[in-house]
Amino acid sequence: EAQVTQNPRYLITVTGKKLTVTCSQNMNHEYMSWYRQDPGLGLRQIYYSMNVEVTDKGDVPEGYKVSRKEKRNFPLILESPSPNQTSLYFCASNPGPNTGELFFGEGSRLTVL
């Protein structure tokens, strides 16, 4: 089954404690991206990757890091989480740049105390 898998699905942490949200896709897609979803703000792109070792910032990259060492994996790293990073995070993948069909994971709900 074609899917994007994120872990953990739920996480409560404290300010400053580094965490990583993993993302893996099994569709051999070139493109992967991270979005956060907040009430009243909708979905906003954090980072994207066009291929292995190629990443770039989206609209709200502050406080986040990413890496793309393998085609299928695109982890999101919060080096020093802060309460304003409390959000619902989605990883997505798509086969190319000119398609609107993003395949989303089921989301990771993060709470930073």
Partner 1 sequence: QKEVEQDPGPLSVPEGAIVSLNCTYSNSAFQYFMWYRQYSRKGPELLMYTYSSGNKEDGRFTAQVDKSSKYISLFIRDSQPSDSATYLCAMSVPGANSKLTFGKGITLSVRP
Cα angle 5-9-13, degrees, rounded to a multiple of 5: 135
Nearer to partner 1, 1 or 42 (CB): 42
Residue 43 as a binder of partner 1 (CB under 8 A): the answer is yes
Nearer to partner 1, 63 or 107 (CB): 107
Which DSSP symbol is given to 41?
A: T
Shortest distance, position 98 Cβ to partner 1, whole Å: 5
CB 102 within 8 A of CB 92: yes
Residue 66 as a binder of partner 1 (CB under 8 A): the answer is no
Residue 62 as a binder of partner 1 (CB under 8 A): the answer is no
Binding-residue total with partner 1 (CB under 8 A)? 28
HEC string for 11-30: EEECCCCCEEEEEEECCCCC
CA distance 30 to 42: 25
Contacting positions for partner 1 (CB under 8 A): 4, 31-33, 40-45, 48, 50, 56, 58-59, 90, 92, 94, 97-102, 104-107
